[in-house]
C-alpha cells in the first residue's frame, strides 16, 4: 500500500525544539476551517486511493459536529498499523508533491492547534483489526511550554512519542475506514461548530460534486473530464446533509477555455469552464460569482484570486461569470495555506497564459452588455413612443407646451436605436423587427408632433411667445441643445428640466414684457 | 489491546430480546417510529438491535474512548444524523437537561434506557434527583423506562434501603388495621427482606419497583412494572434489569392510581437469564396476601 515515502524533515532536524511544532501547528492555520480542509484532503486521498483499486460506489466522507468534537470519517483505504504509527513521526509523508493533495506532511497534525486531543481510528481492508492513535495535544503543548521555561531541548519525535498512544482492537476483516476526531475543540476555534459556516466553507473548498439541481452540472462535468485526467469528486455529508458546490440561477450555457502552454501549444496547463450571467450585472450572491482555481478539485484562493491574477483590465467583469479554473500542470502547486500558488517561474507563466481567459470573458461581457443595451433602447423606445402616441391621440395640452421636448425624445429614440441596431444578434429576429417597427412609428409620430406644434402657432413656440430677441433666441436654443446632449440617455429628466426651464423663462420674460 | 471497559454478554443479549418485545409493542401502539434516550456504549448494540423502531436517538456517554468508538459505529452503520451524542455524566445531564457543551436532551422520549446506572440506594441523592428530573421532564408523555442496576452484594441491609422497606411495611400494615394476624405476617415477611442473609436482589426488586412507582404516580403517571430480571453481566457482575411502562394520567391534581397494587408489585417474581435462557427463578421471596 505504501508506494513511496518521503522525509520532508531530515534526520538531523528531528532534534528541533519541540515548540517548533507549536509554531507550525498554530501559525499555519489562521483560518480555523483550513484545519478541517486538511483532514478532508487526507480523507479524499484515501478515497481516491481506494477507488483506484476497487470499483466501489458507496465511498464517502462524513463530517459530523458532535460538540465538543468534530469527526471526519472516510471509508477509503484505511491504514495499517505501520502507516498509522508513522503519524507519530513528523517529517514522514506518504505523499509526494503533485501526486497527492496533502503533500505537506504536516497537515495531519493540523488538529493539534485547535483541539485538545486528536484521535485517529483506522482499519485497512482485509485485516481483522483496527488501530487507534490518541494524540494528547493539550498535554504535549503544556510540556513544550514547560521545556521552554527551562530552556530545555527535546527531540521532536521523542516528544510526540511521549504524548501519543497507539492501540489495536478487533474489527471486521472487510471494513476499511479512517476516522479523525478533533476532540474538545478549543474555545478560540468554536466557530467550527457553526454548521452553516462549516457547510459553506466545505461546499466552496472541497472536491464535492456539482449540485444535481444545477441544470448545467452534467455538461460542465463532461467538459472537465475531457481535459482534466485526475478530475475526481467525493460524496461528502455534514451530519447527513449532502454537500454540493454552490451554483447560481439564470446562467447561460457553460463554455470551456483551455489554457495552452506558451511553448508547447499542444499541452494544456489549465482548463476553465464558465457560465455567463443571463441578466444584467454581476452574478448574485457575490461570494459565488467569478472564477475559482481548483487544484485536484480543491479550491485555491477565492474568487478574488482569479480576479487579481488573470485580469489586467475591467476586472469587475470577472463577477459577471461563475466558473472554475482547473490546474492541469502539476508543477504549479498551491501554498500550504492554499490562498495562492507557490511562487515560481511556472506559476508566473501560467498566470500570463491564463490571461486568455480574462480576454475572452471581457469580450463576452462587453458584447453581452452591448446587446443588452441595444435591447434596452428598443424596449425604452417602445415605451416612449407609445406614451407620446397616446398624448398625441388625446390631444394632451402639455404637448403644446412641451412639444420641443417631445420632439427631442422621439429624435433620441430614433438615434439610439439606429446606432445600436447592429448589436442585436442576428438570431434575435423578434427584437430586430421590433426595433424597425419602433423607428418607423417614431418617424411618423415626429411629423405629427411637429405638425401639432405648428397648428398651435406661437402657443408652443416659447421663442415667439416670449418675443425673444435674436440673441436671446440663440441663448435659448444653445441651452436646449446643451440640455438635450446632457440628458441624451434620459428623456424623462430632459422633459423635467425643460419644463422647469420654460416655466422660469416664462416667469422672467413675462415680467419683463409687462 | 487495551483492557475492555465494557462488553456485552450472552445474558445481556437475552435480556435485550425481552426488551425488544416491549419496544415493538410501543412502536405498534404509537403507530410511528420512536425516540430513544440511552447509554449505548461504544458498540451501541441497543441502537443497532432496535434501529428499525427508532427515528431519533440521543446517546449519553461519559468516557471519551467509548464516545469515539460510538461515533465510529454510528457512521459505519450509516446512522449519522440520526443520533446525537451528549458527553458527560448521565445524572448531571438529566438534572440539567443538557451537557456541559450545551448539547440538549430532546424531551419527551418514547423509550429511555438507563443502563449500568450504578446501584440504587437512596443515599445517592444525585441519582434520585436525576430520575425524578427525567420523570418530570417526560410529564404528559407515555414512555417505556428501562433501568439496569449493579447489585452490590452485601451481607447486610443498607440503611437507606432499610428506610424504604420500613416505609413499604408501614403502607402494607395500613391495609390491615384490625387484623393482627395479618399484621404479624407482614412484619415477618418484611423482616425476611431486611435480614442480612437475604440476597440483595430481593431487596432491590421491591426497592426499585416501589421507588419508581410511587415517584411516577406522584407526577401524574400510571405505572406498570414488569417482572425484574436478574443476570450476571460483564465480568460476572450481578445485575438487575427493570422495565416500567409509564402512562400519562388524567392530569388529576392528586396522585395517579395504577392498575397494579403495592401487593402486586411486591409479589412480582424475579426472572433470571442464564446460559441464554430466561426463566422464573425457583427461589422467590415470600408473598404478601390480599
Ligand atoms: C452497560 S454500557 C451500555 C450498554 C448498552 N446500553 C447495551 O445495551 O449494550 C454503559 C455505558 O455507559 C457509560 N456510562 C457509565 N456510567 C455513565 C455515566 N454516569 N454517565 C454517562 N455514561 C456512563 C459507560 O462508559 C458505557 O459505555
Each domain of chain A, given as residue ranges in start order, spans 19-193, 217-353, 461-514
What pLDDT was estimated at residue A52? 86
| Chain B: residue whose CA lies nearest to A178 | B72
Please indicate if any CB of chain A lies within 8 Å of the CB of B78: no
Q: How far is the CA of A63 from the centre of ligand 1 (A)?
A: 25
The answer to whether the Cβ–Cβ distance between A73 and B2 falls below 8 Å is no
Q: In this model, does residue A124 exceed pLDDT 80?
A: yes
Residue A71 has pLDDT above 60, yes or no: yes
Tell me the CA–centroid distance for residue B153 and ligand 1, in Å. 21
Could you tell me if residue B4 is inside a domain? no
Confidence at residue A222, expressed as pLDDT on a 0 to 100 scale: 96
Give the torsion sign (CA, A63, A66, A67, A71). Answer: negative
| Residue B17 φ then ψ, to 5° | -60, -40
Q: Which atom of ligand 1 is nearest to the CA of B8?
A: 9
CB < 8 Å to B48, chain A: none
For the structural domain made of A19-193, what CATH number should be given? 3.30.565.10
- Which pLDDT does position A2 carry in this prediction? 39
Q: Quick check: B287 contacting A, CB < 8 Å? A: no
B192 found inside a domain: no
Structure confidence by residue, pLDDT tens digits, B220-278: 999 999 999 999 999 999 999 999 999 998 766 677 788 899 999 999 999 999 998 99
Q: Is residue B160 part of a domain?
A: no
Per mean pLDDT, which range of A400-414, B106-120, B127-141, B200-214 is the poorest?
A400-414
Segment A480-498 shows an average pLDDT of 80
What is the 3-state secondary structure of A392-428? HHHCCCHHHHCHHHHHHHHHHHHHHHHHHHHHCCCCC
Extract the runs of DSSP E, i.e. beta strands, from B227-283.
Answer: 229-232, 238-248, 271-274, 277-280
Q: What angle do CA A112, A114, A116 make, to 5 degrees?
A: 65
Report the gap between the CA of B289 and the closest CA in chain A (Å). Answer: 53
| Local confidence band at A488 (pLDDT 50, 70, 90 cut-offs) | confident
Q: Tell which residue, A208, A257, A246, A439, has the closest CA to residue A362.
A: A257
All residues at 6 or more sequence positions from A80 whose CB lies less than 8 Å from its CB, including other chains: A1, A124, A127, A131
Interface residue of A66, A70, A173, A189 to substitute, partner B, most B CBs within 10 Å: A66
CATH number at residue B214: 3.40.50.150
Distance from the Cα of B103 to chain A's closest Cα (Å) equals: 7
CA of A181 to the centre of ligand 1 (A): 20
Exposed e or buried b per residue across B113-138, where buried means at least 16 C-beta atoms within 10 angstroms of its C-beta: bbbbbebbbbeeeebbebbbbbbebb
In a domain, B76, yes or no: yes
Does A164 score more than 90 pLDDT?
A: yes
Q: Which atom of ligand 1 is nearest to the CA of B90?
A: 20
Q: Residue B71 is nearest to which of A66, A67, A68, comparing CB atoms?
A: A66
Instruction: Please give the grid coordinates belonging to residue A116.
Output: 485538545
pLDDT at A1: 40
How far apart are the C-alpha atoms of A199 and A193, rounded to whole Å? 10
Q: What are phi and psi of B155, to 5 degrees?
A: -100, 25
CA distance B26 to B32: 9
Burial readout A107-133 (b: 16 or more C-beta within 10 A, e: otherwise): bbbbbbbbbbbbbbbbbbbebebbbbb
Interatomic CA distance for residues A241 and B71, integer angstroms: 17
In whole angstroms, how far apart are CA A424 and each of A320, A377, A431? 20, 11, 7
Q: What is the DSSP letter of B221?
A: E
Cβ separation A237–B80 shorter than 8 A: yes
Whether B116 has a pLDDT exceeding 90, the answer reads no
Q: Which residue out of B41, B83, B86 has the highest number of ligand 1 atoms within 8 Å of its CB and is therefore the one to mutate?
A: B41
Higher pLDDT, A213 or B256: A213
Question: For residue A136, what pLDDT is reported?
Answer: 94
C-alpha cell at A283: 452574478
Task: Read off the pLDDT band of A56 (50, 70, 90).
Answer: confident
Q: Which of B142, B2, B15, B136 is nearest to B65 (CA)?
A: B2
A206 has a pLDDT exceeding 90: yes
Number of domains in chain B: 1
Q: With CB atoms and an 8 Å threshold, state whether A179 touches B75.
A: yes
In this structure, of A349-353, A402-406, B178-182, the range with the lowest mean pLDDT score is: A402-406
CATH 3.30.230 fits A217-353, yes or no: yes
- 8 Å CB contact between A315 and A361: no
Q: Which of A451-455, B9-13, B90-94, B257-261 has the lowest mean pLDDT?
A: A451-455
- Chain B positions touching A177 (Cβ under 8 A) are 72, 76
Element (H, E) at A298: strand A298-300
Question: Between chains, do B81 and A67 touch, taking CB under 8 Å as contact?
Answer: no
Q: Strand A241-242 vs strand A235-238: parallel, antiparallel, or unpaired?
A: antiparallel
Does B68 contact A68 at a Cβ distance shorter than 8 Å? no
Q: Quickly list DSSP for A62-93.
A: EEEEETTEEEEEE-SS---HHHHHHTTSTTEE
Tell me the pLDDT tens digit for each residue of A139-150: 988 888 888 788
Number of other CB atoms surrounding residue A198 within 10 Å: 21
pLDDT at B186 over 50: yes
Q: Please, is A191 exposed, middle or buried when counting C-beta atoms within 10 Å of its C-beta (0-12, 13-18, 19+)?
A: middle
pLDDT digit string (tens) for A179-192?
Answer: 999 999 999 999 99
In terms of DSSP bridges, do strands B143-150 and B111-114 run parallel, antiparallel, or are they unpaired?
Answer: parallel
Cβ pair B72:A121 closer than 8 A: yes
Greater model confidence, A388 or A66: A66
pLDDT attached to residue B253: 63
Q: Residues B34, B23: contact at Cβ < 8 Å?
A: yes
In a domain, B124, yes or no: yes
Cell numbers placing A277: 450571467
DSSP letter assigned to residue A114: T
Nearest to B80 among A64, A119, A177 (CB): A64
Closest Cα in chain A, distance from residue B65 (Å): 9
- 3-state SS, residue A170: strand
B75 contacts on A by Cβ (under 8 Å): 62, 64, 71, 73, 179
Q: Which residue(s) pair with A165 in the sheet?
A: A134
Is B76 close to A132, i.e. CB distance below 8 A? no
Cβ contact, residue pair A240, B81, below 8 Å:
yes
Comparing B13 with A463, the larger pLDDT belongs to: B13
Ligand 1 site residues, Cβ closer than 6 angstroms: B 6, 8, 38-41, 45-46, 60-63, 66, 89-91, 115-116
Residue B39 inside a domain? The answer is: yes
- Atom index in ligand 1 nearest the CA of residue B38 equals 6
Q: Bridge-partner residues for A277, per DSSP?
A: A251
Alpha-carbon distance of B5 to B147, in angstroms, equals 20
d(CA A105, CA A103) in angstroms, rounded, equals 6
Answer whether A73 sits within 8 Å of B68, measured CB to CB.
Answer: no
| Residue at B193 is within a domain | no
Q: Which residue has the cell 450504578?
A: B118
Among B64, B80, B102, select the one facing A239 at the smallest CB separation: B80
Domain of residue B208, residue span:
10-152+200-280
Dump strand ranges (E) for chain B. Answer: 34-38, 54-61, 83-87, 111-114, 143-150, 221-225, 229-232, 238-248, 271-274, 277-280
- Residue position matching grid coordinates 511562487: A343
Amino acid at each position: 500500500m505504501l508506494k513511496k515515502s518521503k522525509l520532508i524533515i531530515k534526520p538531523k532536524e528531528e532534534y528541533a525544539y519541540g515548540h517548533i511544532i507549536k509554531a507550525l501547528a498554530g501559525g499555519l492555520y489562521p483560518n480555523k476551517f483550513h484545519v478541517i480542509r486538511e483532514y478532508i484532503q487526507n480523507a479524499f486521498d484515501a478515497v481516491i486511493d481506494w477507488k483506484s483499486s476497487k470499483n466501489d460506489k458507496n465511498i464517502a466522507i462524513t463530517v459530523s459536529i458532535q460538540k465538543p468534537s468534530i469527526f471526519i470519517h472516510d471509508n477509503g483505504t484505511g491504514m495499517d498499523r505501520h502507516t498509522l504509527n508513522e503519524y507519530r513521526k513528523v517529517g514522514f509523508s506518504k505523499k509526494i508533491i503533485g501526486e497527492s493533495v496533502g503533500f505537506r506532511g504536516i497537515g495531519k497534525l493540523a488538529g493539534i492547534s485547535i483541539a485538545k486531543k486528536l484521535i485517529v481510528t483506522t482499519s485497512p481492508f482485509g485485516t481483522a483489526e483496527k488501530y487507534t492513535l490518541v494524540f494528547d495535544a493539550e498535554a504535549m503543548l503544556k510540556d513544550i511550554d514547560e521545556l521552554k521555561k527551562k530552556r530545555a531541548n527535546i527531540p521532536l519525535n521523542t516528544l510526540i512519542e511521549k504524548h501519543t498512544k497507539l492501540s489495536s482492537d478487533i474489527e471486521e476483516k472487510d471494513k476499511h475506514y479512517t476516522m479523525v476526531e478533533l476532540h474538545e475543540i478549543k474555545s478560540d476555534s468554536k466557530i467550527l461548530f457553526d454548521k452553516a459556516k462549516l457547510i459553506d466553507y466545505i461546499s466552496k473548498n472541497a472536491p464535492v460534486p456539482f449540485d444535481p439541481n444545477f441544470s448545467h452540472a452534467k455538461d460542465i462535468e463532461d467538459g472537465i473530464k475531457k481535459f482534466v485526467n485526475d478530475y475526481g469528486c467525493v460524496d461528502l455529508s455534514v451530519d447527513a446533509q449532502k454537500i454540493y458546490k454552490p451554483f447560481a440561477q439564470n446562467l447561460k450555457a457553460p463554455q470551456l477555455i483551455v489554457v495552452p502552454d506558451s511553448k508547447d501549444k499542444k499541452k494544456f496547463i489549465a482548463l476553465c469552464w464558465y457560465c455567463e450571467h443571463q441578466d444584467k450585472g454581476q452574478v448574485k450572491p457575490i461570494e459565488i460569482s467569478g472564477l475559482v482555481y481548483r487544484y485536484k478539485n480543491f479550491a485555491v484562493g477565492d474568487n478574488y484570486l482569479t480576479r487579481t491574477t488573470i485580469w489586467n483590465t475591467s476586472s469587475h467583469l470577472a463577477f459577471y461569470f461563475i466558473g472554475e479554473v482547473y490546474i492541469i500542470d502539476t508543477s504549479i502547486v498551491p501554498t500550504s495555506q492554499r490562498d495562492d500558488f507557490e511562487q515560481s517561474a511556472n506559476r508566473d507563466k501560467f498566470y500570463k497564459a491564463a490571461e486568455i481567459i480574462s480576454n475572452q470573458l471581457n469580450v463576452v461581457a462587453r458584447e453581452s452588455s452591448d446587446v443588452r443595451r441595444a435591447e434596452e433602447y428598443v424596449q425604452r423606445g417602445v415605451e416612449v413612443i407609445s406614451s407620446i402616441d397616446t398624448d398625441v391621440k388625446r390631444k394632451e395640452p402639455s404637448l403644446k407646451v412641451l412639444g420641443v421636448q417631445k420632439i427631442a425624445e422621439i429624435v433620441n429614440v430614433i438615434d439610439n436605436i439606429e446606432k445600436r441596431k447592429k448589436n442585436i444578434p442576428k438570431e434575435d429576429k423578434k427584437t430586430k423587427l421590433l426595433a424597425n417597427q419602433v423607428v418607423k412609428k417614431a418617424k411618423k409620430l415626429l411629423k405629427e408632433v411637429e405638425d401639432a406644434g405648428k397648428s398651435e402657432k406661437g402657443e408652443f413656440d416659447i421663442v415667439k411667445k416670449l418675443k425673444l430677441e435674436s440673441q436671446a433666441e440663440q441663448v435659448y436654443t444653445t441651452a436646449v441643445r446643451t440640455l438635450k446632449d446632457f440628458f441624451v440617455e434620459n428623456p424623462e429628466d430632459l422633459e423635467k428640466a425643460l419644463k422647469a426651464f420654460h416655466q422660469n423663462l416664462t416667469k422672467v420674460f413675462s415680467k419683463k414684457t409687462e | 489491546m487495551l483492557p475492555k471497559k465494557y462488553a456485552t454478554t450472552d445474558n445481556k443479549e437475552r435480556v435485550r430480546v425481552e426488551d425488544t418485545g416491549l419496544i415493538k409493542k410501543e412502536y405498534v401502539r404509537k403507530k410511528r417510529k420512536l425516540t430513544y434516550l440511552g447509554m449505548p456504549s461504544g458498540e451501541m448494540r441497543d441502537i443497532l438491535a432496535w434501529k428499525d423502531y427508532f427515528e431519533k436517538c440521543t446517546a449519553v456517554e461519559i468516557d471519551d474512548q467509548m464516545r469515539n468508538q460510538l461515533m465510529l459505529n454510528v457512521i459505519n452503520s450509516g446512522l449519522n444524523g440520526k443520533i446525537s451524542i451528549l458527553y458527560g455524566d448521565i445524572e448531571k445531564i438529566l438534572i440539567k437537561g443538557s451537557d456541559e457543551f450545551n448539547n440538549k436532551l430532546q424531551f419527551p422520549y418514547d423509550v429511555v434506557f438507563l443502563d449500568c446506572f450504578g446501584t440504587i440506594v437512596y443515599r445517592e441523592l444525585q441519582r434520585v434527583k436525576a430520575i425524578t428530573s427525567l420523570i418530570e421532564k417526560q410529564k404528559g408523555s407515555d414512555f417505556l423506562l428501562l433501568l439496569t442496576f449493579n447489585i452490590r452484594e452485601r451481607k447486610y441491609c443498607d440503611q437507606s434501603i432499610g428506610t424504604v422497606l420500613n416505609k413499604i411495611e408501614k403502607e402494607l400494615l395500613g391495609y390491615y388495621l384490625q387484623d393482627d394476624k395479618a399484621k404479624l405476617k407482614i412484619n415477618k415477611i418484611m423482616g425476611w427482606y431486611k435480614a442480612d442473609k437475604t440476597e440483595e436482589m430481593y431487596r432491590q426488586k421491591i426497592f426499585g419497583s416501589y421507588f419508581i412507582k410511587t415517584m411516577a404516580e406522584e407526577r401524574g403517571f400510571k405505572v406498570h412494572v414488569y417482572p425484574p430480571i436478574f443476570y450476571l453481566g460483564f465480568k460476572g457482575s450481578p445485575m438487575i434489569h427493570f422495565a416500567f411502562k409509564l402512562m400519562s394520567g388524567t392530569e388529576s391534581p392528586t396522585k395517579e392510581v395504577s392498575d397494579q397494587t403495592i401487593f402486586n408489585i411486591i409479589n412480582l417474581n424475579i426472572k433470571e437469564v442464564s446460559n441464554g435462557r430466561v426463566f422464573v427463578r425457583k427461589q422467590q421471596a415470600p408473598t404478601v396476601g390480599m
